[in-house]
Amino acid sequence: MTGGVLPFVLRRLLLVPPTLFAVLFITFAFTQAAPGDPVRIITGTRAPDPEVAEQIREEFGLTGGFFDRFGGYFVGLVTRGDLGPSYFHRSPQRSVAELLGERVWISTQLGLISLALIFLLGIPLGVFAAVNRGTWRDPFTIGFFMIFDAIPVLVLIPLMVWLLVFGLHEVPEFFGFSVPSVWTPGDAASYIVPVAALTLPALAGMARFVRVSVLSVLDEDYVRTARAKGLGPRTVVIRHVLRNSLLPLSTVMALSIVTVVTGAILTETLYGVPGVGSFVFASIGQRDFNVILGFTLLVATLFVLANVVIDVAYIYIDPRIRYSRRA
Amino acid sequence: MTIEAVQPLDSSYGPLARAESPQRRAWRALRRKRVAMVALALIVVIYGAGAYTILDAFGAPIGLQDPEATNLTERRPVREVDGVVETLGAYMAHHQISLEELRRLNPETVALVEAEVGPLSSATVVPPRTTFVLKEDEVLEGPSADHWFGTDRIGRDMFSRTLFAARTTLVISILAFLFGNVFLGLGLGLVAGYLGGKVDNAIMRVGDVVLAIPTLLVLILVSASLRDRWTEWFAAIDDFLGTTFFIDQGIDDFSLLFFSVSFFSWVGTARFVRAQVFALREQEYVLAAEALGARIPRILLRHLLPGVLPWIVVGISATLGAIATLEVALTFLGIGVQAPTASFGAMIDDAGGVRTFNLHPHLLLVPGVTVAVLIFAFNLLGDAVNDVVNPRGR
């Protein structure tokens, strides 16, 4: 039994609000369960004046029981896109949405460049490994990039910076421009270290995925036909193999997005990038729970929406797929 | 090639040789892969070192420096007992130090004392309140015979810290695997796949939510909200039992870490197991079991579990590697194992910046290389196992 496309899309979309609501509820509950009076975190004093404390509770929506607070947060979020006020950035009082908004552009740039590179480099690497199956080049390609997957980012970035500052000091002009050892606004070369730190560890996974996918297509009859009629190996791979083997790639896209976004927390912090990631890291130390909550919701929304878009796009990309309700 | 006569199937020849099980065949194929065996050996060495230090938790002598002991300068004055200054012999016996060592560490003091009371011997009574250096700072030293991996900035032995860090990773990743992948993932996957319907729907929707929450971020929130309470509970258990074992050994940290990691990492396994069970439950032998009136737990554990278990084994490598990676990041974010317990994350975090690295590279390289080798070995082994099990990718 084949279901229509539209009912599938609708069913898929209908699941989004409850999922996001549950994510919001769980994460909000954790922030509320944190021990200690939030007023202390906000004012930074052990025993704030009771009147001031009352005022702050009012201002931050900390009055009433758990469900009152949750309701307040939920209504603010849905009606105004309000992620609440920051606990830490108080003079002047800033909102979380504002603080994240200021920093999101730089992180988005880094993330998009890295994602593009992961696909642009990972796909050819995977194809290369698959085509060279049975030779030393296959395990070597994937194995080499698995080294970067194994080195923790916390080690990788210091090593890269050390190379730039001390190791390569003989080569001041590195590929035509000098790479700074820490994020320098306005210097395009600053992008190199964080982008490399976000891209390199992900390449092995992408290449491996593409390799398996290419190998499964490589044995298909139509590929043999293409070869038999005398097409060159290059043409066979590009025109016949690649098109079909890249379909499953869309499924890893959403996961790659999350990896890059959460990877930004460590990468930006270590290289001093003034983006969302380093801001969230600072907020952990400042116990600015609203920031962490806001960022978590942002990433979760991104993930859920990306998944829906990919699922729906898949119907159009791959006409073989039929969505139907299982009996 | 010789052709042997086919033996007739006669009961007098005894039972037929048992066919090789798929597991054994896979293991033999894996044994032939040199890379996989090297990876397995590396894992055994690092995990083995970690497992060895578990003995320490039960008070067995393991011949390693205390990973939390600092090798800083130690000075001790000569004691006066009832107004009588102890002899140098008594002092040396008390602090377990030889005369040569004392001379080597205190050339100036010894010269001053000898000028006053003559050549030193065990019977010498030195002036009251003379203070000797018993041990010199051994801070930020490179690898040496005393400290194979050098010492860190407060003089802790990096070799012993590395072994104890391996223990931290070992315990957390094995427990997180057992609880997250096996108990939650396998269990919920079996139940969802076999029962189907509403139960399946409920489990999978919960899975959707859990998957949508970014792990690293929710662990930050979990740690912030639960850590203090969690520690209190374990302190209460300690009080109840009259020990200090749980808090001393950091059981509270370990358990919070693996519990919270488990709760947010079961979905992948559960989805996979569920898909496998969908296929298995249509098989005749399951129908036969149902017809014989087997109860649900029996069907799940006796009839369906053996069918999916090999797939769980295949996933061990990837999971353990992933958790080792996660531990490093979590500790950097301040929500992993708390100081002074040794862990790879804590050691990497302590290594300091680029300038420190230039002067004392061993601080970063020792934990960094060890953990990278471990994760690399897990990934290599995981790939090899996958190749053996899914011949298509070969």
Taking each helix axis from N to C end, the angle separating A96-131 and A289-317, rounded to the nearest 10 degrees, works out to 40
More confident residue, B289 or B245: B289
Rounded Cα gap, residues B121 and A298, in angstroms: 75
| Residue of B46, B169, B217, B326 for testing the chain A interface, max A β-carbons within 10 Å | B217
The pLDDT score that the predictor gives to residue B12 is 55
Residue B166 pLDDT > 60: yes
Radius of gyration of chain A (CA): 25
Highest mean pLDDT among B177-186, B301-310, B325-334, B348-357: B177-186
CB contact (8 A) between residue A15 and residue B208: yes
B330 interfaces chain A, CB cutoff of 8 Å: no
What is the 8-class DSSP label of residue A62?
A: -
A165 interfaces chain B, CB cutoff of 8 Å: yes
The pLDDT score that the predictor gives to residue B393 is 47
The pLDDT score that the predictor gives to residue A325 is 46
Rounded Cα gap, residues A111 and A191, in angstroms: 11
The pLDDT score that the predictor gives to residue A295 is 93
DSSP-derived 3-state class of residue A154: helix
Q: What percent of chain B has pLDDT over 90?
A: 30
Distance from CA of B24 to the nearest CA of A (A): 24
Among the partner-chain residues B358, B390, B394, the one whose CB lies closest to the CB of A162 is B358
Rounded Cα gap, residues B344 and B351, in angstroms: 11
Residue B100 pLDDT > 80: yes
Rounded Cα gap, residues B280 and B276, in angstroms: 6
Q: pLDDT for B42-58, tens place per residue?
A: 999 999 999 999 888 88
A171 interfaces chain B, CB cutoff of 8 Å: no
B215 interfaces chain A, CB cutoff of 8 Å: yes
Distance from CA of B325 to the nearest CA of A (A): 7
Residue B17 pLDDT > 70: no
Mean pLDDT calculated for residue range A188-197: 90
Q: pLDDT for B195-240, tens place per residue?
A: 989 999 999 999 999 999 988 888 988 888 888 888 888 889 888 8
Residue B303, token pair as written in the block: 């009839």
Q: Where does residue A183 fall: left (phi above 0), alpha (psi -120 to 50 degrees), or beta otherwise?
A: beta
Residue type, A162: W
The pLDDT score that the predictor gives to residue A327 is 35
DSSP labels for B37-63? Answer: HHHHHHHHHHHHHHHHHHHHHTT---S
Residue B273 pLDDT > 50: yes
CB contact (8 A) between residue B212 and residue A300: yes
Among the partner-chain residues B225, B368, B383, the one whose CB lies closest to the CB of A155 is B368
Of all residues in chain B, the one with the smallest CA distance to A290 is: B221
Contacts of A305 (CB under 8 A, 6+ apart): A16
The pLDDT score that the predictor gives to residue A326 is 44
Phi then psi dihedrals of residue B151, to 5 deg: -125, 160
Rounded Cα gap, residues B309 and B292, in angstroms: 24
Q: What percent of chain A has pLDDT over 90?
A: 35
Region of poorest pLDDT, from A215-219, A227-231, B7-11, B159-163: B7-11
Question: Given pLDDT bands bounded at 50, 70 and 90, which one contains residue B122?
Answer: confident
Residue A238 pLDDT > 80: yes
Residue B7 pLDDT > 50: yes
The pLDDT score that the predictor gives to residue A171 is 55
Set of chain B residues whose Cβ sits within 8 Å of the Cβ of A262: 214-217
List the helix and strand counts (H, then E) for chain A. 15, 2
Residue B367 pLDDT > 90: yes
CB contact (8 A) between residue A133 and residue B394: yes
A13 interfaces chain B, CB cutoff of 8 Å: no
Q: pLDDT for A275-300, tens place per residue?
A: 999 999 999 888 888 999 999 999 99
CB contact (8 A) between residue B358 and residue A292: no
CB contact (8 A) between residue B218 and residue A287: no
The pLDDT score that the predictor gives to residue A174 is 55
Contact, B329 vs A280, CB < 8 A?
Answer: no
Set of chain B residues whose Cβ sits within 8 Å of the Cβ of A208: 383
B348 interfaces chain A, CB cutoff of 8 Å: yes
| Residue of A15, A28, A30 for testing the chain B interface, max B β-carbons within 10 Å | A30
Partnered with residue B131 across adjacent β-strands are B77
Rounded Cα gap, residues A180 and A166, in angstroms: 12
Rounded Cα gap, residues A19 and A320, in angstroms: 28
Q: pLDDT for A297-325, tens place per residue?
A: 999 999 999 888 888 877 777 766 655 54
CB contact (8 A) between residue B354 and residue A161: yes
Give Cα separations from B335 to A267, A310, B219 (angstroms).
17, 33, 8
Q: What percent of chain B has pLDDT over 70?
A: 94
Contact, A309 vs A300, CB < 8 A?
Answer: no
Residue B9 pLDDT > 60: no
Residue A157 pLDDT > 80: yes
Q: pLDDT for B281-327, tens place per residue?
A: 888 898 899 899 889 899 998 889 988 888 888 888 988 999 999 99
Q: pLDDT for B250-263, tens place per residue?
A: 788 888 888 989 99
Q: Which residue has tokens 């390449």?
A: A203
Set of chain B residues whose Cβ sits within 8 Å of the Cβ of A165: 354, 358
| CB atoms inside a 10 Å sphere around CB A58 | 10
Q: Which residue has tokens 């609880």?
A: B179
Residue A218 pLDDT > 50: yes
Among the partner-chain residues B220, B353, B371, the one whose CB lies closest to the CB of A292 is B220
| CB atoms inside a 10 Å sphere around CB B289 | 17
Residue A250 pLDDT > 90: no
- Whole-model pTM over 0.90: no
Highest mean pLDDT among A184-188, A259-263, B323-327: B323-327
Contacts of A282 (CB under 8 A, 6+ apart): none
Mean pLDDT calculated for residue range B160-168: 93
Residue A1 pLDDT > 90: no
More confident residue, B121 or A71: A71
The pLDDT score that the predictor gives to residue B11 is 54
Region of poorest pLDDT, from A70-79, B129-138, B302-311: B129-138
CB contact (8 A) between residue A152 and residue B329: yes
A284 interfaces chain B, CB cutoff of 8 Å: yes
Rounded Cα gap, residues A222 and B206, in angstroms: 41
The pLDDT score that the predictor gives to residue B193 is 93
What is the 8-class DSSP label of residue A191?
A: G
Distance from CA of A303 to the nearest CA of B (A): 6
